[in-house]
Amino acid sequence: MRILLVGPPGAGKGTQARQLAERLEVPHIASGDLLRGAIAEGTELGLAAKAYMDRGDLVPDELMIRFIADRVSEPDADGFVLDGFPRTDAQALALDEVLERIDRPLDKVIHLDVPNEEIVDRLSGRRMCPTCQRAYHVKYDPPQEPGRCDEDGTELVTRPDDAPETVQHRLDVYHSATKGLLRHYDRDGVFSCVDGIGTVDEVAARIHKAIGIEG
């Protein structure tokens, strides 16, 4: 199955995509995680992307498109849960083109709908594992041991772009650059809007229903 999750920063895309990918036994392809990995490795892309990400701006399309087109074309990506890409009309058109060329069409596009006030609350309490990139929340989804990742024991960090002024900018960027995406996908029967308010399990159940899987 090939699923795309779209929605504002902090909507819970990564949290849901990670669990859904495990459930479907497909890779979770997250543009933000891939970029943070590239920064940690000091690759050319990572070096080019870092300043944009720290400011909460989008990384230029020409860098992103080649990067993600390569990833969705890899042999293990016959099924996937994609999160964070596309974010602009140009990226959406490029994704359509590459998926058509490799005959891997999207089965479902899920829009996670969460209002701005909730997002500010979620991102102010987010803590992230720099090793496996799993997100936690100090109140809504805390790790078993405070400040440590359940998966690998790494000390959790706050993402630089979760500073309140950067969050507001990311929301503005989303609403100006990314909203056209909803129109792009709301056309061919694959699009569903899911209410992203509620517990992680409640939202997961709505997503499962929208894509037609049990439980």
For the record, the structure tokens of 53 come out as: 């990400």
Q: Which of 36, 87, 108, 134 is catalytic?
A: 87
Using an 8 Å Cβ cutoff, are 184 and 92 in contact? Answer: yes
- Within the chain, residue ranges assigned H as helices are 13-24, 31-41, 44-55, 61-72, 89-101, 116-124, 164-173, 180-185, 200-211
Edge-to-edge strands, sheet with 2-6: 28-30, 80-83, 2-6, 108-113, 191-195
Q: Which of 36, 108, 126, 134 is catalytic?
A: 126
Residue 39 CA, chain-centre distance (Å), reads 17
Applying CB under 6 A, what is the total number of residues that bind ligand AP5?
A: 37
Q: Backbone phi, then psi, for 82, in 5-degree steps?
A: -100, 135
Task: State yes or no: is 134 an active-site residue.
Answer: no
Please select the residue that binds ligand AP5; options are 26, 64, 110, 181, rule is CB under 6 A.
Answer: 64
**CA–CA gap between residue 48 and residue 185 (Å, rounded):** 29
Task: State yes or no: is 13 an active-site residue.
Answer: yes
Task: State yes or no: is 183 an active-site residue.
Answer: no
Distances (CA, A) of 174 to 2, 95, 103, 137, 168: 23, 18, 29, 22, 10
CB of 7 to ligand AP5, least distance (A): 6
In the three-class reduction of DSSP (H, G, I as helix; E, B as strand; rest coil), residue 159 is classed as coil
The smaller minimum CB distance to ligand AP5, of residues 4 and 12, is found at 12
x/- mask, ligand AP5, residues 146-175, rule CB under 6 A, reads ---------------x--------x-----
The smaller minimum CB distance to ligand AP5, of residues 127 and 189, is found at 127
Please select the residue that binds ligand AP5; options are 1, 29, 72, 87, rule is CB under 6 A.
Answer: 87
Q: Would you give the DSSP letter of residue 31?
A: H
Q: Would you give the DSSP letter of residue 138?
A: T
For position 143 contacting ligand AP5 by CB under 6 A, the verdict is no
Task: State yes or no: is 66 an active-site residue.
Answer: no
Q: Which of 13, 36, 108, 134 is catalytic?
A: 13
The smaller minimum CB distance to ligand AP5, of residues 20 and 189, is found at 20
For position 6 contacting ligand AP5 by CB under 6 A, the verdict is no
Residues of this chain that interact with ligand AP5 (CB under 6 A) are: 9-15, 31-32, 35, 52-53, 56-59, 64, 84-87, 91, 122-123, 125-126, 135-137, 140-141, 161, 170, 198-200, 203
